[in-house]
């Protein structure tokens, strides 16, 4: 999806023909739209500008392969300029009271709310998301902006008693400095909102690098902040390759904090580099989330939940339901209700409201998903639905895969163990509740999980035993809310939880203050 072009022709990544200074626009000019093609620019130190050498990345509509936008293929020099702008803006932003900072986030929320429909449409075109899901994601991101706007009033430290008389101990919370925010394409609005808003309210300055598949919507978020009155340099936006821009954001000594969401493979490298460089880091990575359905569950409600959890956004969700664990006694009955619903899903461009299944993001993701399907067949998993690329009625121009279900998947099979990031559901049958717990935990991931049952004892025992950062009872594995922490354990995450007050905590340092108010010679001391 993200081939690099210069002057309309394909060019090699990172190479440029000249060193002409990029044409900058004034801070109040918007990224331009020319005809049907949107031109996305970087936003550095309050100026919209192309990449050095004006090299661009093509952005496709994954439902038909049309180029819908061009975005900067930024260079090392662009990345350094963005970091330097953030570094210079930090002292004044740090000195701004938290509620004043938060009020700008509140204005950005109001601007985004007024543009909700346009933003959802951009998401449907650029990312392929079904329009109703896109609207839901804008709402979710906006909730996060609104939540963090309130947190400006709760920028609390704590007081503590002292071992000594006439001594007062307390903590104050302070911003850390320049923060790098690196986000994926599958939640191109909500994830940037949930990282950028707490970073700004906490008083940090930001360099934001979105995925190269979805830079258009990301630029629209930056415009909301710009129009809300964010001072120049406080939020900088730069599009480019992870190997160039991402690498510089992580290694540059001026960047003190890295917040990343993406694959486990890349996240582990980010974590390792930040460890070596002693930077604060949070990585939200992959999942292989189980949904257990016990014999006493409300099967109709479970059918709807698994359908949404497994096939929403074509399974391209780190919280997607990718393993369905059925108690043997109701397995056939559940599948009889479930499979006709799977077959009813209608693949097509997200922008058409009659469609219910979105495309995969690009050709390479399509290839990966088809390879997983081929492997599942080769390992003897029983195909119950789908299993191929969706090709009818012009769908072959896009990257659609039929919603796919495999039965009798064993814990040793690839489909049970590896994250596919596509519409492929692995069904495993178990004989008991205890076996359901054991099978649920038999993967390297631990992001989300879910159980359908009417038995409160079993529900709470599952909550206790499941190795995951999040667990849903009688609802699908997906979703989160602004006011509660989001994140996983095992190979699904490292560093602090995101969202909620934990989001602010991650982007701040605590300073411990000791005040002796004896007023004379200290009588005793601590050791
Ligand atoms: C959700 O399930 O609503 O990349 C959010 C992802 C997660 C976000 C999921 N970071 O899928």
Question: CA 168, CA 516: separation in Å to the nearest integer?
Answer: 6
Question: CA 105, CA 282: separation in Å to the nearest integer?
Answer: 22
Please tell me whether residue 285 adopts helix, strand or coil conformation: coil
Largest CA distance in the chain: 87
Question: CA 168, CA 68: separation in Å to the nearest integer?
Answer: 60
How far apart, in Å, are the Cα atoms of 458 and each of 4, 293, 328, 429, 517? 53, 11, 17, 18, 55
pLDDT of residue 28: 37
Substitution site in 127, 143, 144, 191 for ligand 1 pocket (most atoms within 8 Å of beta carbon): 191
- Residue listed under structure tokens 């390759």: 241
Domain 2-285+497-508, second-level architecture? 3-Layer(aba) Sandwich (3.40)
CA of 202 to the centre of ligand 1 (A): 23
CA of 423 to the centre of ligand 1 (A): 15
Residue 19 burial by Cβ neighbours in a 10 Å radius (0-12, 13-18, 19+): exposed
Domain 289-473, second-level architecture? 3-Layer(aba) Sandwich (3.40)
Question: CA 473, CA 443: separation in Å to the nearest integer?
Answer: 20
**DSSP summary character for residue 294:** -
Question: CA 416, CA 426: separation in Å to the nearest integer?
Answer: 6
Q: Where in the chain is the domain with CATH 3.40.309.10?
A: 289-473
pLDDT of residue 520: 74
- Residue 80 CA from chain centroid, whole number: 24
> pLDDT for 94-111, tens place per residue?
999 999 999 999 999 999
Question: CA 487, CA 499: separation in Å to the nearest integer?
Answer: 9
Question: CA 119, CA 131: separation in Å to the nearest integer?
Answer: 10
352 Cβ contact partners less than 8 Å away, ≥ 6 residues apart:
131
- Ligand 1, residue 448: give the atom nearest the CA: 2
Concatenating the DSSP letter of every residue in 157-189 gives: --EE--SSTTEEEEEEEEE-SEEEEE--SSSTT
- Ligand 1, residue 480: give the atom nearest the CA: 3
Sign of the dihedral through C-alpha 438, 442, 445, 450 = negative
Residue stretches of the chain with pLDDT short of 50: 1-35
Please tell me whether residue 308 adopts helix, strand or coil conformation: helix
CA of 469 to the centre of ligand 1 (A): 13
Closest by CA to 192, choosing from 84, 65, 43, is 43
User: Strand pairing of 255-261 and 178-182?
Assistant: parallel
Cβ < 6 A, ligand 1 pocket: 184, 186-187, 191, 261, 284, 317-319, 478-480
How far apart, in Å, are the Cα atoms of 123 and each of 48, 115, 502? 21, 12, 28
- Order the strands of the 56-60 sheet from edge to edge: 9-10, 4-6, 56-60, 67-72, 37-39, 33-34
CA of 488 to the centre of ligand 1 (A): 11
Q: How many CB atoms lie within 10 A of CB 158?
A: 11
Concatenating the DSSP letter of every residue in 244-257 gives: IIIHHHHH-TTEEE
Question: Which is the catalytic residue, given 52, 284, 327, 419?
Answer: 284
Question: CA 513, CA 159: separation in Å to the nearest integer?
Answer: 9
Ligand 1, atom 3: nearest CA belongs to which residue? 479
Full 3-state SS string of 375-403? HHHHCCCEEEECCCECCHHHHHHCCCECC
Ligand 1, atom 10: nearest CA belongs to which residue? 318
Please tell me whether residue 333 adopts helix, strand or coil conformation: helix
Question: CA 197, CA 500: separation in Å to the nearest integer?
Answer: 11
The answer to whether residue 284 is catalytic is: yes
Directed axis angle between helix 215-227 and helix 190-201, to 10°? 30
- Number of C-alpha atoms within 13 angstroms, CB side, residue 496? 21
pTM of the shown model: 0.93
Full 3-state SS string of 441-507? CCCCEECCCEEECCCHHHHHHHHHHCCCCCCEECCCCCCCCCCCCECCEECCEECCCECHHHHHHHC
Closest by CA to 387, choosing from 343, 323, 321, 340, is 343
How far apart, in Å, are the Cα atoms of 377 and each of 132, 309, 373, 389, 406? 33, 23, 6, 15, 9
pLDDT of residue 392: 87
Q: Where in the chain is the domain with CATH 3.40.605.10?
A: 2-285+497-508
pLDDT of residue 527: 57
433 Cβ contact partners less than 8 Å away, ≥ 6 residues apart:
294, 327, 458, 461, 462
The answer to whether residue 274 is catalytic is: no
Ligand 1, atom 1: nearest CA belongs to which residue? 479
Directed axis angle between helix 131-151 and helix 190-201, to 10°? 10
In DSSP terms, 165 is beta-bridged to none
CA of 267 to the centre of ligand 1 (A): 15
């Amino acid at each position: 999806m993200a081939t690099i072009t210069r002057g309309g022709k394909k060019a090699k990544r990172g190479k440029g023909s000249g060193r002409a200074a990029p044409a900058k626009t004034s801070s109040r000019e918007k990224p331009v739209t020319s005809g049907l093609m949107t031109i996305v620019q970087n936003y550095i130190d309050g100026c919209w500008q192309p990449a050095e050498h004006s090299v661009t990345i093509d952005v496709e509509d994954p439902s038909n392969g049309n180029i819908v936008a061009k975005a900067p293929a930024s260079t090392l020099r662009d990345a350094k300029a963005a970091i330097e702008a953030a570094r210079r803006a930090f002292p004044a932003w740090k000195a701004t009271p938290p509620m004043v900072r938060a009020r700008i986030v509140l204005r950005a929320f109001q601007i985004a709310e007024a543009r909700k429909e346009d933003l959802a449409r951009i998401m449907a075109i650029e990312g392929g998301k079904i329009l109703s899901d896109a609207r839901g994601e804008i709402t979710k991101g906006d909730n996060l902006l609104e939540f963090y706007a309130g947190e400006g009033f709760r920028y609390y430290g704590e007081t503590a008693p002292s071992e000594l008389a006439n001594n007062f101990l307390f903590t104050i919370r302070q911003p850390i400095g320049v923060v790098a925010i690196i986000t994926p394409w599958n939640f191109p609005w909500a994830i940037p909102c949930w990282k950028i808003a707490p970073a700004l309210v906490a008083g940090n300055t930001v360099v934001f690098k979105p995925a190269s598949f979805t830079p258009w919507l990301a630029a629209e978020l930056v415009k909301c902040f710009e129009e809300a009155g964010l001072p120049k340099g406080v939020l900088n936006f730069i599009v480019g390759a992870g190997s160039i821009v991402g690498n510089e954001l992580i290694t540059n000594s001026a960047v003190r904090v890295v917040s990343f969401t993406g694959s486990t493979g890349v996240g582990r490298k980010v974590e390792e580099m930040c460890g070596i460089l002693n930077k604060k880091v949070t990585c939200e990575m992959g999942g292989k989330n189980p949904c257990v359905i016990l014999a006493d569950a409300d099967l109709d409600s479970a059918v709807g939940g698994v359908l949404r959890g497994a096939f929403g956004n074509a399974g391209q969700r780190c919280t997607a339901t990718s393993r369905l664990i059925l108690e043997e006694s109701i397995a056939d009955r559940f599948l009889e209700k479930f499979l006709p619903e799977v077959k009813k899903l209608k693949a097509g461009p997200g922008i058409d409201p009659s469609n219910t299944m979105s495309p995969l993001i690009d050709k390479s993701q399509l290839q990966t998903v088809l390879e997983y399907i081929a492997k599942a067949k080769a390992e003897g998993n029983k195909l119950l639905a789908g299993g191929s690329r969706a090709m009818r009625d012009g769908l072959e121009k896009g990257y659609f895969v039929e919603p796919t279900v495999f039965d009798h998947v064993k814990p040793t099979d690839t489909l049970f163990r590896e994250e596919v990031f596509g519409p492929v559901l692995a069904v495993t049958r178990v004989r008991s509740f205890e076996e359901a717990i054991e099978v649920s935990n038999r993967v390297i991931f631990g992001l989300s999980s879910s159980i359908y049952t009417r038995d409160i004892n079993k529900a709470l025992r599952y909550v206790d035993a499941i190795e995951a950062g999040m667990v849903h009872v009688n609802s699908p594995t997906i979703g989160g809310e602004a006011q509660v922490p989001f994140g996983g354990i095992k190979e699904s995450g490292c560093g602090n939880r995101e969202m909620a007050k934990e989001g602010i905590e991650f982007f701040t340092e605590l300073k411990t203050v000791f005040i002796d108010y004896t007023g004379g010679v200290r009588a005793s001391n601590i050791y």
